[in-house]
Structure 1
């Protein structure tokens, strides 16, 4: 279906509803346009609940402090949240998140319409995210927040904005807020495509005890409990998890995850101190070349380098203070985070080093200090109710990262070794005014300042050797004192939105905003290629890149409950431009200065609750994503491949996929999901979750494409009196053999030596689709209930 046809349909619907009488009211009572006031749950999510026990997903505006339409609100103002300005904004309860089966913790975020979360490496590495035509890598333009702390990390060794959500404990979630687009003043550098704010519970009455076991070595235990301590509530949780996966080389992933919080009062008026600790060790089966599998030389579950893997750890301490009265609210959050990561990756196998292989060791060790403060005020503006919010976001990262070549996890040189100091400050404000009972506007602005200093104390005695085309020694690739410096940049971003309605249980939205994308600090001072020490200008790459890049977008949409009782629908049409698609390639340590880009598409969501024991949901999103302009660099590279092809031992296998084009690589085109939930608070219950991830271009010329994947997960269980629950989850029940994730690039696999026994290295590689398959069908059994069964004096710390 073409976008213009959908736009015509929206216009007809708008005209029809606009001529109907407007309901003279401040908020629409029969449609979720603003959400219920956020309250912290005091029950374990894993306990008994009906399939519809929680309300349907709502827009975040309803979770806003108080009705904007009344400055004489009788209740206290909830904490300042994003205004309800976009049709694509949603808020979900923790119970909704956990109502459907998902295999890994980060997949819980797929409750976001149109979002795909997948994995190309071991169970401990950050996931890959896809949303609205963005191949977000490990989180570059999707801001993830947990309890007021950011998960995204700037200038990370494996990719800008690297966001590891493997430490998430879904059963502890009290709420998840989802926003898309650059329309929100409190959304910073990593929120260009969207932002997901997650909140844990402050207490668990009765506690939670969970045990789970299943196929491929899956074992998981979780215990959580809360106590009344020192005039407040202390909650603690501990999770242990092991998983092998279906791979010939088992992941043997071992995770330990802890959480503890003391809180007093509520989220609106109170304070808390939170500590978290997470550690994970794993082996990894990375993506493999399709040609080796098709020729029967490598199993779908095999690996080219059995020593790939890594370890990760994250420790944090955070505090929150909040205060609210009838017409104002304030909130201050501070955090200290320590994050460590070691990765051993080999994606090209024997392409550059035919003897030792291409494995690289990447490390990133950092300390993060941050502060968030915001204040909201309700008042009367020229006789109209208004709300103004102001906020400050600050963050400072002390980073030590780099990488070098390795073999079987033994590092033998140093390609990069960086000390990075990176800080950012964001000031933002927005004002929402309700001009009439059916018309309100939001105007906002954001100002960001970024500063980064890069030092590279590379040891000159362990730098990589550089060989010429003739195979002779040409020197060492020393870049330490050259790729250093300090960069600073500021950027302003206006925001605007308006809402019309309610008209006949329907509202209309229009949004525009500018945002920013941050670049890896190393790319802003890079003059020499760390792989061979050559100047980047010699290869045609335009470097260094700017620290901040502008993005702008718009969205129009409609949300309605007018068509059928119990049916919630929304349709959003959106567009977004980037001034440049800068990409730091963590696997090679270089920055690609990309062309401008444009994305546009639509999202359609439907949620139907015909009875108290059944819920049906269907969402579909489609995107058109392209570069703008011509790729002169790739055109020159392609011409070089063609004209000097006879000098490449792999010619012409190095040609497909290298011609210039305008496809945004790996950009999702179609994503569709369907959900069914049945059951009451007690007795039998069940759920189905379907997800379709359409084929994508893996190269900019579109010659190499991914294979679409359609998965169906199922759940059946029984809820007992007393809060106990038994359930069976089945994953990929139809045994779909599509790609969990795939890439298009050149490599040289172990089996390729059969055809090229004397391959000397240094080629572009055999261009191919490299993929990681969907996990085969598997089953897990889970038993959960209140921890009261183990209640004793030993369980009470005070």
Structure 2
């Protein structure tokens, strides 16, 4: 009798329970590997999913999904954060050294280092508010891609569990708690690339103990060797499963590197440097991240509870030079950004599964809190990494608490609704080295969300979503009263403070269909409004608040798996980004992504061989408000082949930038002065019209690189 009741109740909840608790599925419909214990949140029930799991009746939007281990396995990666390119329409690039956070592009945004893309690893927010280099700075270099279990993504501000930095979307990465087999892997390749990865699990005191060490070195194709050194250690003890168990993890990551920052195009054209040359060989940095994380979950037939707690210490010293001799013709324009902080926080979430009359219903309630104690948030003028002046060196305490609730109700087998409400409270406390810029401030934002799902009708489902979101601004900008920058003509003059929390709101209309056998397709038509843009400032390496904006676009995603051996995916995204207030300078948002597409093929037959091939197109973008100057487009192809020599020995060959395309990772348009420009009126130290030369500043994509790996498992 009890078994019959459980099965009956499960059938009544099947419209939404699988997505919330039981399955983690890709937008293309591939379930997690069947041997993963995290498959189901109902431990008394065994659910066997077919190879192509039907997302119809499960998803709440057309633009959400999950990427599995199987999809990551045959994907060649230049950098760890490139695993995020498994999210359709998301581009990951770099405009500096590989020890620095990557540059992200999604849904009409140049997201800088993460301003409107919220990223989480094992429930811990990676974005850093009030960061020395950029608001929402999200450095994912500490990831070990081989240990990623799955990636869940959502686009748009429609999920009540997502708050700050999630207007364009959110990405949640879960790492493995147990390995199928222990292994040691050695990799060597072009440009002095060397890597040692060792990982394994063992049973200990009734649980699983996982450890991993990842050490690497690379010089890159740059004329000035990057000399990048990375060390990464992870240790995790866990019991139970992801949805019924707990985990305690320790991780430590550190990196130091030299960097070839973006360079002026005229320096290459005039033969002053080569394509991979540097205009300041002392640029670079070092960073450290040490974290302690606790995750706990308990699931019964009628409810699910989750708790995530974390504490971390973080430090970054970053030396950059984007304008060379524009501000200081004697010392040059290099500057150091210092960020050192301790972060503490957590989230508790509880879901209740019940019925409203005869209608299956889920109610979710959550609370999260975070405190960033920033002991030094500094900007210094440097020459060859030696400080000679201080612009700012502030202490910041930033605290946020969020409350959220969400209701999902199945009104009929062909119609369900989701209503969410979230309120975020902020407290900013700034102790600036210039007393007038110190102060404290409280702020809050309430963000409603709503969504409707119609269908499935003939293997097609329709979605309508609308929601409010926001991103926070740097705490220092909320208390800033006078200009602290001695390089600026307005030094110590009054300035306007920025709004602490910037409202965004967006809507989405989409569909998901499986009309054709083995093919899963989604289409999403979306729009997002923002009360204020953040704009990159080249000579300071910072962002500043700007005008209100509107973005709109369409995304088309396809995933085709005709058999176990073949996986084929294709996606394309088209977007438009413009300021909504009229200005004579123009209404285009500089460097806003317009068109992107990607295609991947993975072939894993029942034989020793496996092959993966990826193509990524990154379209042209306006570099100035009037759209008179645009970036060039880029197309890159990466390839990977694997071979299983024996049960315990395998090899892998990766070719990155297969066709050795000379394209750019990033392009900006701003003014700068080279040392060779010193005799011109635009750059002479004695000139009254010293404004520099307006020029493209580019960071080239890395040239073709070959990497070979050998893995011994035991």
Q: TM-score, normalised by structure 1?
A: 0.82
In the alignment, structure 1 residue 543 sits paired with structure 2 residue 496:
yes
Selected match of 1:37 from 22, 25, 35? 22
Cα distance in 1 for partners of 2:95, 2:487 equals: 30
- Residue 501 of structure 1 is matched in structure 2 by 455
SS of 1:152 mapped into structure 2: coil
Does residue 1:733 correspond to 2:658, yes or no? yes
Q: How far apart, in 2, do the equivalents of 1:57 and 1:73 lie? A: 19
Number of equivalent positions: 687
Instruction: Tell me, yes or no, if structure 1 residue 779 matches structure 2 residue 699.
Output: no
Matched, 1:664 2:664: no
Computing the radius of gyration from Cα coordinates, the structure with the larger value is: 1
Q: 1:243 aligns with which of 218, 229, 233?
A: 218
Match of 2:655, SS state, is strand
Distance in 1 (alpha carbons) for counterparts of 2:18 and 2:139: 31
Determine if contact 2:18/2:58 at 8 Å carries over to the other structure.
no
> Are the structure 2 counterparts of residues 143 and 385 from structure 1 closer, same or farther at C-alpha, using a change threshold of 3 Å?
same
SS at match of 2:191: coil
Of 530, 537, 559 in structure 2, the residue corresponding to residue 607 of structure 1 is: 559
Structure 2 contact 21–243 (Cα < 8 Å) conserved? no
Q: Deviations over 1:422-467 (max 9, x none)?
A: 000110010100111111110010011011011113xxxxxxxxxx
Distance between the aligned counterparts of 1:106 and 1:390, measured in 2? 31
1:566 aligned partner: 518
Structure 2, unpaired ranges of 5+: 1-10, 48-56
Q: What is the Cα deviation at residue 743 of structure 1?
A: 0.8
- The residue that corresponds to 1:552 in the other structure is 505
Return the offset for 1:538: 10
User: Using the alignment, how far apart are the partners of 1:380 and 1:293 within structure 2?
Assistant: 67
Match of 1:766 in 2: 693
Shift of 1:751: 3.0
Aligned equivalents of 1:552 and 1:720: distance in 2?
A: 53
Residue deviations 1:176-223 (CA, integer Å, cap 9, x gap): 001110000010111111110001111113212211110011111100
The counterpart of 1:529, out of the listed 479, 483, 489, is 483
C-alpha distance in 1 between matches for 2:424 and 2:81: 29
1:318 Cα shift? 1.1
What is residue 183 of structure 2 aligned with on the other side? 208
Q: Which residue of the other structure, out of 118, 127, 138, is the alignment partner of 1:152?
A: 127
Instruction: Supply the distance in 1 between the matched residues of 2:183 and 2:382 (Cα, whole angstroms).
Output: 44
Query: What does residue 598 of structure 1 align with?
Result: 550
Cα deviation for residue 35 of structure 1 reads 8.9
Q: What do the CA deviations read for 1:587-615 (whole angstroms, capped 9, x no partner)?
A: 63876331110000000011112233222
What SS does structure 2 have at the residue aligned with 1:504?
coil
* 1-structure distance, mates of 2:541, 2:260: 22
1:431 alignment counterpart: 407
- For 1:33 and 1:370, how far apart are their aligned partners in 2? 29
Aligned counterparts of 1:140 and 1:402: Cα–Cα separation in 2? 19
Indicate whether 1:492 and 2:446 are aligned: yes
Alignment of 1:399-418 (within 5 A): 399=374, 400-418=376-394
Structure 2 CA distance for partners of 1:534 and 1:744, relative to 1, 3 Å: closer
Distance 1:64 1:439 in 2: 24
Q: Is the 8 A contact 1:323 1:331 kept in 2?
A: yes
SS in 2 for 1:183: coil
**CA apart distance, 1:273:** 0.8
Q: Does 1:616 align with 2:568?
A: yes
| Partner Cα separation in structure 2 for residue 743 and residue 783 of structure 1 | 40
Cα-to-partner distance string for 1:766-785 (whole Å, 9 max, x where unaligned): 11110011111111101124
Which of 144, 158, 169 in structure 2 is aligned with 1:194? 169
Q: Does the 8 Å contact 1:451/1:488 carry over to 2? A: yes
Q: CA deviation at 1:734?
A: 1.6
CA distance 1:57–1:484, shift in 2 (3 Å): farther
What is the DSSP-based 3-state SS (H/G/I as helix, E as strand, rest coil) of the residue aligned with 1:666?
coil
CA 1:590 to 1:111, structure 2 compared with 1: closer, same or farther past 3 Å? closer
Distance 2:302 2:248 in 1: 26
Q: Aligned-residue CA RMSD in angstroms?
A: 2.8
Deviation at 1:27, TM superposition (A): 5.4
More strand by share: 2
- Post-superposition Cα deviations, 1:517-554, rounded to whole Å, max 9, x if no partner, equal 10001111112122139897999x97201110110000
Distance 1:721 1:57, change over 3 A: closer
1:357-376 → structure 2 map (5 Å cutoff): 357-376=332-351
Q: Is the 8 A contact 1:287 1:771 kept in 2?
A: yes
Q: TM-score, normalised by structure 2?
A: 0.91
